[in-house]
């Protein structure tokens, strides 16, 4: 089936490009097309054509990037979109944009996709095909429209909204932006309408089905509930309850199970049919590749783990490393001690053999901006150009996973203030057991492991006081989410924004976000790799800093070209605060 789908995509690519152009531009100027070319008038005639048209929607999932591109959801950062997180330090310093740009690639891409979805929703009801399949593809269009508006609202806040396929001359093309909260309500409405229409399974886990929509609904509602609570000081319980229920719909489906090995989510050549992966982006030799393995297996200086992130890994007894009396933690004066007795995911993601930096690369010539060498994506069964050449790496990328749904459920319960030990055992403790660390218990507020109450000094630090301290069980669930998705850069950035923790990205408020491994041998050594007085790697030039400005940096700027375009039509498209 894999080859059939790919061959069909190649054969119909010209047709798709033709129809896609109709979806984003006025077609009135077109004359009658040749008989062997599809147009909007002759395309919507079969289920196969509808299915083929829907394939274009999946390009919106970046995964590990496309071919040599590094616009991705994992590991890479993109300065143009403000994608910066606190887990990984880029090999070159990235700061937030200071002025509004004329254009924004995401803005353009997302509205193109929304127009395509609206075209599907208008045409599919009149396409001759089985009603069950017709309903399914209506659900697919609603899913992608919801997903895209969700990302628009996350990045830009209040945005223009339309749920109709409009001619360019239609007066409704230019309307004032809809309030972000209303956009999200429409997203939820789309998903709730899509769920009963979607098939339970369609092409395994490589295309959208009912449970993909439940997973997205879980993500959206958790995001909105916590955003309202922490950013707006509003009650988000209605959304948190929806997140809990949507998560349960996936968790109660016995066909989904965690993989035995956490790392296999991120280094598998084939995720088709993987029981933990609800939706995957597939990479296939000769059709589509990525560059994440080559980037982390060549002489290019790697993005590196920050000190701030490294210290979030607990010891195997489940206790934070800075908790008083935790004798499992041996300190970080050398690499052996740093990784000793720690959450096994730490050693699966990063090399325990040696730190590597500009003056001392590994035997394979690898080096890292912070000393920590990532090995999460390494697959011992891949060789040659599949590892070393950009655009030819073939490991598949997870898009929605059962592990995320488990942690969505646990967080929703904790935020609702109703979390029980039974809830933890249904969700987060399955993730922790798979990882190899002690499971949690709670009284609804506190968190305990092995009869010892967790008391992490970091939870009440000056950094946390900036925007507010959370209770211990929420803190530990957030930690688990961070570790489980350590290289999932888009997810981490989105989490920080909804929790109102932008201060984590500020190098003045949080100096540890701009430090790396502790390499005491470098103190006073004259190495090109600089360290501070304690021996922690300083990855960037002296004086380089990043300031997180609130509320400005919680949203990207509305592209100024679009503001001007709306103004020419007599409509004010307001810029976001601070820009």
> Which pLDDT score, from 0 to 100, does residue 393 have?
96
**In this structure, CATH architecture of domain 2-79+97-281:** Alpha Horseshoe (1.25)
pTM listed for this prediction: 0.93
Secondary structure (3-state) at 80: helix
CB 165 within 8 A of CB 118: yes
Q: Which pLDDT belongs to residue 300? A: 84
pLDDT (0 to 100) of residue 80? 62
Burial category of 421 from C-beta neighbours within 10 Å (exposed 0-12, middle 13-18, buried 19 and up): middle
Q: Which residue has the higher pLDDT, 298 or 337?
A: 337
What confidence score (pLDDT) does residue 37 get? 55
pLDDT at residue 30 is higher than 80: no
Percent of the chain whose pLDDT exceeds 90: 88
Identify the weakest region by mean pLDDT among 176-180, 237-241, 295-299: 295-299
Point out the least confidently predicted range of 168-177, 204-213, 321-330: 168-177
pLDDT surpassing 70 at residue 323: yes
How far apart CA 252 and CA 128 sit, in angstroms, is 35
Look at residue 423 and tell me whether its pLDDT is greater than 80: yes
pLDDT band at 240 (very low <50, low <70, confident <90, very high): very high
Per-residue pLDDT band at 299 (split at 50, 70, 90): confident
Establish whether the linkage from the previous residue to 380 is cis, with ω within 30° of 0. no
Please give the pLDDT value at position 422.
98
**Rounded to whole angstroms, what are the CA distances from 250 to 195, 263, 398?**
12, 22, 16
Q: What is the pLDDT of residues 524-572, one digit of tens each?
A: 999 999 999 999 999 999 889 999 999 999 999 999 999 999 999 999 9
Task: Flag the least confident range among 21-35, 217-231, 412-426, 472-486.
Answer: 21-35
Residue 19: predicted pLDDT: 47
Given a contact cutoff of 8 angstroms between Cβ atoms, the answer to whether 290 and 281 are in contact is no
Question: Does residue 345 contact residue 360 with C-beta atoms inside 8 Å?
Answer: no
Q: Considering only CA atoms, which of 318, 350, 578 is closest in space to residue 472? A: 318
User: What share of the chain in percent tops pLDDT 70?
Assistant: 93
| 154, burial (CB in 10 Å: exposed 0-12, middle 13-18, buried 19+) | buried
Report DSSP letters for 87-108, one per residue.
SEE-SS-----SS--S--HHHH
> Is residue 38 predicted with pLDDT exceeding 80?
no
The confidence score (pLDDT) of residue 41 equals 79
Q: How would residue 14 be classed by pLDDT, with cut points 50, 70 and 90?
A: very low
pLDDT tens track for 142-178 = 999 999 999 999 999 999 999 999 998 899 999 999 9
Structure confidence by residue, pLDDT tens digits, 67-89: 999 899 999 987 666 789 999 99
Give the pLDDT of residue 168: 87
pLDDT at 32 over 60: no
Q: How confident is the model at residue 7, as a pLDDT?
A: 36
Full DSSP string of 325-349: T-TT---SSSHHHHHTTB-HHHHHH
Q: What is the mean pLDDT of the chain?
A: 92
Question: CB under 8 Å to 35, separation ≥6 — which residues?
Answer: none
* Rounded average pLDDT over 354-367: 92
What are the residues whose beta carbons fall under 8 Å from the beta carbon of 534, sequence distance 6 or more?
518
Structural contact between residues 358 and 520, judged by C-beta atoms closer than 8 angstroms:
no
Higher pLDDT pick, 81 / 183: 183
Predicted local confidence at residue 83, as pLDDT: 87
Q: Map residue 411 onto helix, strand or coil.
A: helix
Three-state SS for 579?
coil
Find the helix packing angle between 180-194 and 210-231, rounded to 10°: 160
């Amino acid at each position: 089936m894999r080859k059939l789908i790919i061959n069909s995509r190649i054969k119909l690519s010209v047709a798709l490009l033709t129809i896609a152009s109709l979806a984003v531009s006025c077609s009135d100027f077109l004359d009658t097309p040749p008989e062997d070319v599809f147009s909007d008038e002759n395309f919507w005639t079969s289920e196969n054509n509808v299915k083929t048209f829907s394939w274009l929607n999946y390009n919106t999932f970046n995964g590990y990037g496309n071919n040599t591109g590094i616009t991705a959801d994992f590991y890479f950062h993109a300065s143009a979109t403000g994608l910066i997180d606190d887990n990984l330090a880029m090999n070159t310093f990235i700061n937030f944009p200071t002025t509004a740009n004329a254009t924004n690639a995401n803005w353009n891409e997302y509205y193109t996709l929304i127009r395509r979805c609206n075209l599907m929703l208008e045409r599919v009801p009149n396409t001759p095909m089985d009603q069950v399949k017709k309903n399914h593809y209506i659900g697919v269009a609603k899913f992608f429209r919801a997903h895209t508006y969700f990302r628009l609202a996350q990045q830009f806040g209040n945005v223009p909204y339309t749920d109709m396929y409009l001619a360019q001359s239609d007066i409704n093309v230019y309307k004032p932006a809809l309030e972000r909260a209303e956009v999200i309500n429409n997203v939820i409405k789309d998903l709730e309408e899509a769920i009963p229409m979607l098939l339970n399974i369609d092409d395994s886990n490589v295309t959208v089905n009912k449970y993909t929509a439940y997973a997205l609904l879980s993500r959206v509602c958790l995001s909105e509930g916590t955003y309202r609570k922490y950013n707006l000081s509003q009650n988000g319980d209605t959304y948190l309850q929806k997140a809990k229920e949507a998560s349960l719909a996936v968790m109660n489906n016995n066909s989904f199970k965690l993989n035995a090995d956490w790392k296999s989510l991120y280094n598998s050549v084939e995720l088709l049919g993987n029981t933990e992966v609800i939706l995957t982006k597939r990479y296939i030799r000769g059709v589509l590749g990525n560059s994440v393995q080559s980037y982390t297996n060549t002489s290019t200086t790697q993005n590196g783990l920050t000190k701030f992130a490294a210290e979030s890994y607990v010891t195997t007894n489940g206790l934070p490393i800075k908790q008083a009396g935790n004798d499992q933690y041996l300190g970080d004066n050398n690499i052996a001690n740093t990784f000793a007795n720690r959450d096994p995911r730490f050693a699966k993601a990063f090399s325990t053999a040696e730190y590597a930096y500009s003056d001392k690369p590994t035997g394979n010539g690898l080096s890292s901006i912070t000393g920590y060498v990532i090995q999460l994506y390494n697959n011992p069964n891949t060789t040659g150009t599949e590892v070393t050449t950009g655009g030819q790496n073939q490991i598949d990328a997870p898009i929605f996973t059962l592990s995320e749904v488990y942690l969505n459920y646990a967080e929703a319960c904790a935020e609702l203030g109703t979390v029980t030990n039974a809830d933890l055992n249904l969700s987060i403790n399955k993730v922790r057991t798979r990882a190899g660390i002690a499971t949690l218990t709670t009284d609804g507020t506190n968190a305990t492991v092995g009869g010892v109450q967790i008391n992490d000094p970091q939870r009440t630090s000056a950094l946390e006081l900036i925007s507010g301290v959370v209770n211990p069980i929420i803190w530990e669930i957030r930690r688990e989410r961070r570790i489980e998705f350590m290289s999932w850069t888009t997810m981490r950035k989105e989490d920080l924004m909804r929790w109102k923790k932008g201060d984590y990205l500020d190098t003045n408020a949080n100096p540890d976000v701009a430090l790396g491994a502790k390499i005491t041998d470098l103190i006073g050594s004259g190495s090109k790799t600089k360290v501070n007085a304690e021996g922690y790697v300083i990855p960037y030039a002296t004086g380089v800093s990043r300031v997180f400005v609130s509320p400005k940096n919680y949203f990207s700027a509305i592209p100024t070209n679009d503001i001007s375009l709306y103004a020419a039509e007599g409509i004010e498209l307001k810029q976001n605060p601070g820009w």
